Structures are given as structure tokens and as C-alpha cells.
Structure 1
Amino acid sequence: MTNPLTNESLIQELAALRSRVQELEQMEIALRQSEAQNRALLTAIPDLIMRISQDGIYRDFIEAKNIQLVVPFQNRIGKRVDDILPAPLAQQYREAIQKAVYTGLTQVFEYQLEIQGVSGEYEARVVASGSDEAILIVRDITERKQAEAALRSEQEKSERLLLNVLPRSIADQLKQNQGAIAHRFEEATILFADIVDFTKLAAHTPPTELVGLLNEIFSVFDHLAEQHGLEKIKTIGDAYMVVGGLPAPRPDHAAAIAEMALDMQQQINQFQVGESQPFSIRIGINTGPVVAGVIGLKKFIYDLWGDAVNVASRMESQGLTNSIQVTAATYDRLKDQYVLEERGPIQVKGKGEMTTYFLRGRKQIL
């Protein structure tokens, strides 16, 4: 019968076991580090290394990785690149080799090549080796190119979203400066449009149908704004605001707004309340100085401020159904090209008595 382990021997055994476990853990950590280093080295190693003479003859190959080849490397030795590669790529190879040999400078170029029905992208570095040959170091960069393309696609999506909110020039400024952006324009023409009786319609129309209808109408207005080179500012409920003459000043801003207003009147007729009654809109226009810019930290919007904006809003709210009411300032800029009818003096909230006009159409050119 064997004697049981004493407490002292048990402690020694446990200590030795613990030491062995720690040793194994350290070995495992070192192994992981070594594997990580090896993976990094393998990633850095070129996919293919070739020696090619100045006149384009394959002399030697070193395959660093498993890479698909147009022709197995053993079948290339002694042949010309023109016999193996597509003509444009073979010419690119030869030109890079000759330039590297003549100048001593490393040549780098990228190319696409289809191998066994699979298109890939590659980077070639050409380094002179002696006076009559060069070393070509080729890497498969397909994954990198795909990642770059995906990143560009996401950047383009973000850019499009930003440009749907802000004019390009303002978006560019905002990227460089997160502070408030404001510019004064001595003259711009502002248009407000409002769908008549839309509030009553909203009371008995399902929300999704209502939003869908507004989206259709305002999408048509957006196309008109783009067509006439105008800047949509915002929608407020069933009201639509657009401006001409900023952020890029233009001398014909009043005429461009007039053209849009007349087109809006025409386009709104294609939308109906129920089965037969067409929508009606009121439009108000004013011309004058404004301040335009972006303020705040969230939910950026390019907006306008100034008395000219307030008056344009009053022209809409105190206008008549299916009419385009303009101020005297706008009338002065349109009277030679458009038919305008004087409404006479009206009381405008916050401004007192003002003489206004209705824009009826374009003058006939004889």
C-alpha cells in the first residue's frame, strides 16, 4: 500500500503544474504572435516576381503565392510577352521595362486582366536589374480595388444626400467650416406657393395618401426649379419656397422665377381633389436684398432671412386663388417681358399699403 501524498509534496506538484500551465500559455501567446506576423508577411509578399529582358523575353519566375496565370510559368520561359499577354498589356509591359532600364527609376502601373474567365486587377512594379532586364513585381489588388470602389460608392451616396439638402458651394464650405455660414445678396427673387384648401383636404384624407400626393406635387416643382436653375429652399406643410439669384448670382433671377411660377400654375392642373376637381395654388413673389446661409449644428438647411422674404410670404398669403401676385419691385424687372395686371393698393401685414400686380403670362414676341 502506497502512502498518500503529503501536504508539502502536493503543494510542490501544484506549483509545478501551475508553472507548466503558465509556460504553455506563454507558448500559445508566442505562437499566435508568430502566426499573426507570418500572415502579415504573406500579405506583404508580392503575388508574382518575374525577370523579363529589355526586349520582352521571360527569363525567370518566382511564385510567392498561389496566383492564377494566363499560361503556367514553365511554359513562358524564353517566350515574349507579346506571345502570352493581350497586345495592349504586352506593350505596357515592354514600355515600362525599357523606361526602367533606361532611367533607373521604378515604374508602377495598374491593369485589368481576365484569367480563366475571372477579371482581376493588378499592380506591377518594374525595377531595372542590370543593363538589359528588369524585375517585375506583380500584386493582385482586386480586393483593394473592390474596397475602394465600395468606399467611393458610399461617399457618393453621402455627397448626393448632402447636395439634396444644401447647394454644392454651401456644402463645400460646410465641410471646411462647421460654423455658421451667411452671405448677403443685394438682390434676389423669392417665390412662395401654397396649395389652396389643402388643410380641409388633410382633414379627411388618410395620412399616407396625403403625404404621397404632396410628394408627387412637390417633386414636379423640384424638377421645375432644377430646369429653371433656381434654388429650392424648403417646404413648410403644403407651402413651397424657392429663390432665384443665389447662391450663385444671376441677372435674370426675376424672369427665372416668373417662368417657374407660370409653369407651376400649368402643372398643378394635372393633380385633382377626388375625381374631378383640380388643385389650385396661390403664388407670391418679391424681389429684394436677403441674407442666406446655414445656422445650427443639426439638421442643416440653407435658409433665407430679411424683409424681402417676409414680403414674398405676404404676397402669397394675401393673394388670390390661381393667381401670381408680385410686388412693385418684381414688376419693375418683369414688365418688359411679361403681361402684368395692376391689382392696386392692398394692406400688407407689417408693411401697410402696397401696390401689387398679378403676373398673367408671357408677352407675345412679334
Structure 2
Amino acid sequence: MSIEAINEQLLRAIGVGVALLDRSSFSFHFYNDTFEEWFGRPEEAATLADLFAELDLDALRDGLEKNGRFTAETRFKKKRRTMVIAVDFAPTSEGGQDIAVLVCQNITRIRELESMIDSYSMMVERNNREIKREKEQVEKLLLNIMPRSVYEEFKTFGVVTPQLYDPVSVLMLDFVGFTDMVASADPSVTVTELNDIYSAFDRIGEQFGCERIKTIGDAYITVAGLPDPTPDHSKSVANAAIRFIRYLERRNLSHPNQWRCRIGLATGAVVGSVVGIQKYVYDIFGPAVNLASRLQEFSEPMQISVQHEMALELRDQFELDSLGTRDIRGFSEQEIWRLLDATKIASDAG
């Protein structure tokens, strides 16, 4: 068998399309079976442009002359299907005739896979963004119901170790006549206004280093000195309480619904932890919480009741007025004080 016959058999056996072209006219001299299977048998005198209309022949000539090679991608339409073809041209000479060797690879499947990978990557990226957004929403929600340090422990270990905080100061606020308001007013209006008020309380408390623990209907509980110890925790809740009432008084001047509250302040020990398994919530328990709740019951509307021990710490910087000795349920009989707004006293005196 001659060398030419062996070469022809090799060209027919390989899984690429191969053709020999005249370099001046790009007409076909030879093509293997794979080439014919993909593109059909070129008609007599057919040229490369007839087969690949999208191919830039000027760029092809320039590449062969300057670089000795030219590679590109082009498309071939066969009936209703479009093939993506990678073409590689290399110059050679045979019997004094300039020849261009064309090697074609069908990369349609590769491009389809790449397109699928790109689509999958975009989908994964989109899902990652959604997961990140949902994670941020969950984090924001959890930070609304527990301090950040507690959240970090919960996120890392899945549980929160109960901690004793001593001393801290607790502010317990309850609205006057809330039940009657709910029964008589539009529920959506009541909830909207309550949300506005609690949001304002959160901002005020944050200014003084108070951590809102929870809201239970019309009850609002915030604490200072937790989770990080604060030496001025009593002053923090006292400042917050005064400004809560100031905010409600200003708000009531321009709103039909009049929101009035009672506030109790107490200092002491509390235990903080996450309770519940599925519907978990961060909560605090202890004498300071119970005492603040009892003191709130002794307050008149828009007044602040303070335990005696805390009043001793506040009396140098705040105006206080004794309410006398009272028997507090669950606690010993002790003197109760009313915390006054010094700004309002000065205004009334003027």
C-alpha cells in the first residue's frame, strides 16, 4: 500500500473533519468521511465560502501569511440544526501547489455544555444571593429577640448557656387602657401605632445602652447592664424611661389615639437564656424583672416608679419624690420613689 493510501485511511479513521483546500481560491481538493458526514459532499467548484458563510476569508489569508496558522469558530446550518465548528488552518505545499490543511472539530456539544454550566452557575449565584438575603433576614430577626453576643453563641453552638447577670437594671412599661383601645379601634391602626412606638423606644433605649428584651402585647421590657456589665445601668434605664414618656407626650399632641403608660424600674440580678426549642425566644428571669413589674403597677399614668435601692443611686442626678412605704407582693415592704423629669419641673416652675 502506498504512503498516500495509508494517509487517506488515517484521515478517514480519525474523529475530525479534514479537508485540503487550494490557498488561492479555497476550493476543495480532498475531504475525509467525517467532513462529508457533517457538511455533505461539496459540489464541484464549491469553495470554503459556500460552506461557511460566516467565516472571514480575509482574516484567514492574513493569518496564514503572517502567522502560518489560523483558528476560529464558525457555524454550519444543517437542516434545522446549527453546528458550532472549530476550524484550524495550516499552510503547506504539495507538488508546487499551495495547499491549506483544514481540520474541523464539532464543538456544538461542548458549547451546549458550557451554556448549561453558565446557566447553572447563574442559577447557583442567584440561589446563593437568595440564601444570603434569607440568612441576613434570619440574623436580623434573631438580633431583634436576643443580644448580639447571645446570638453569636447560639449561631456557633446551637444552644445558649444560661447566664447570671448581677446587677442589672430593668425597665418594665405597660400601656394604660390598651385593652379598651384594642376593642374600640381599628386593629390595623392599633398595631401600626404600637409598632411605631416600640420602634421609637428601641431607638431611645439604644442611645442609652439599653437592650430591649421583648414585648408582650402592650408590655415593653428593656434592660441595661446585659450582656456586657455597665456601671451606670441604673442611670441608663432612668434616662430611657424619662424620654419614653416625653416621646409619648409629644406624640399625643398630634394623634387621635392617646397612648399613656406606667413604668417600673428595678435593679438586681437576672438570669438570661434562650427558652424553647422550635419557637425559641431570649428571655430574662429573676428578682429585678419581678420587682420592676410590681413597681409598674404602683405608677400612675405617665409616671415612673423606682425601687428604694435604685433611688439611692439616682438621687444625685435625678429628681425623685417619695411615694411612701408600700407592701410589694413577693417582696418585703419598702419605700417607693417616683422619678421626675427635671426638664418638666423647670418648665413648670418658670
Shorter-chain TM-score: what band? Answer: 0.5 to 0.7
Amino acid in structure 2 at the alignment position of 1:158 = V
Match of 1:329 among 294, 304, 309: 309
Whichever residue aligns with residue 268 of structure 2, its letter is G
Aligned CA distance change for structure 1 residues 65 and 153 (closer, same or farther; 3 Å): farther
State the TM-score, normalized to the length of structure 2. Answer: 0.60
- 1:336–1:179: structure 2 CA closer, same or farther, 3 Å change rule? same
- Cα distance in 2 for partners of 1:61, 1:255 equals 81
Partner SS state of residue 348, structure 1: coil
CA displacement, residues 315-347 of structure 1 (integer Å, 9 cap, x when unaligned): 101221221110012112211111111111012
Alignment of 1:50-65 (within 5 A): none
Tell me which residue corresponds to 2:221: 241
Residue 202 of structure 1: aligned partner = 182
Assess if the C-alpha contact under 8 Å between 1:270 and 1:278 holds in 2. Answer: no
Q: Which amino acid in the other structure matches residue 242 of structure 2?
A: L
- Distance change in 2, residues 1:64/1:345 (3 Å): farther
Question: Structure 2 stretches of 5 or more lacking a match?
Answer: 1-68, 76-117, 346-350
Over aligned residues, Cα RMSD in angstroms?
3.4
Q: CA 1:242–1:215 in structure 2 vs 1: closer, same or farther (change >3 Å)?
A: same
Instruction: Select the structure of larger CA radius of gyration.
Output: 2
- Residues 79-131 of structure 1 deviation map (CA, whole Å, 9 limit, x = unaligned): xxxxxxxxxxxxxxxxxxxxxxxxxxxxxxxxxxxxxxxxxxxxxxxxxxxxx
User: Is residue 285 from structure 1 mapped to residue 278 from structure 2 by the alignment?
Assistant: no
Distance 1:260 1:61, change over 3 A: farther
Q: Which residue number in structure 2 is paired with residue 349 of structure 1?
A: 329
Listed as ranges, the matches of 1:1-366 within 5 Å are 143=122, 148-272=128-252, 278-362=258-342
In structure 2, what is the equivalent of residue 75 of structure 1? none
CA distance in 2, matches of 1:63, 1:253: 74
Whole-angstrom CA distance in 2 between matches of 1:290 and 1:65? 75
How big is the shift at 1:302? Answer: 1.4
Residues paired across the two proteins, number: 237
The one-letter code matched in structure 2 to 1:297 is I
Question: More deviation in 286-295 or 266-275?
Answer: 266-275
Partner Cα separation in structure 1 for residue 325 and residue 70 of structure 2: 91
Q: How much has 1:142 moved relative to structure 2?
A: 7.4
- Alignment check: 8 A CA contact 1:282 1:316 kept: yes
Q: CA deviation at 1:180?
A: 4.9
Deviation string 1:43-80 (CA, Å, 9 cap, x unpaired) is xxxxxxxxxxxxxxxxx9988999xxxxxxxxxxxxxx
Equivalent position amino acid for 1:325 in 2: S
Contact 1:287 1:330 in 2 (8 A): yes
1:184 aligned partner, one-letter code: L
For the residue of structure 2 that corresponds to 1:188, the secondary structure is strand
The alpha-carbon distance between structure 1 residues 221 and 179, as it changes in their structure 2 partners (threshold 3 A), is: same
SS of residue paired to 1:181? coil
Distance in 2, matches of 1:182 and 1:213, equals: 34
Aligned partner letter, 1:336: D
Change (3 A) 1:179 1:266: same
Residue deviations 1:160-213 (CA, integer Å, cap 9, x gap): 222122211111111233345310011000001111112222221222222222
Residue 289 of structure 1 aligns with an amino acid whose one-letter code is A
What amino acid does structure 2 have at the position aligned with 1:152?
K
Task: Tell me: CA distance 1:360–1:140, structure 2 relative to 1, closer, same or farther (3 Å).
Answer: same
Q: Following the alignment from structure 2 to structure 1, what is the Cα–Cα distance between the partners of residues 260 and 215?
A: 17
Does the CA-based 8 Å contact 2:153-2:160 persist in structure 1?
A: no
Aligned partners of 1:189 and 1:257 also within 8 Å: yes
Partner residue in 2 for 1:97: none
Secondary structure in structure 2 of the residue aligned to 1:223? helix
Return closer, same or farther for 1:150/1:362 CA change in 2, 3 Å cut-off: same
C-alpha deviation, 1:272, in angstroms: 3.8
In structure 2, the CA distance between the partners of 1:191 and 1:62, relative to structure 1 (3 Å rule), is farther
Unaligned runs of 5+ in 1: 1-59, 67-138
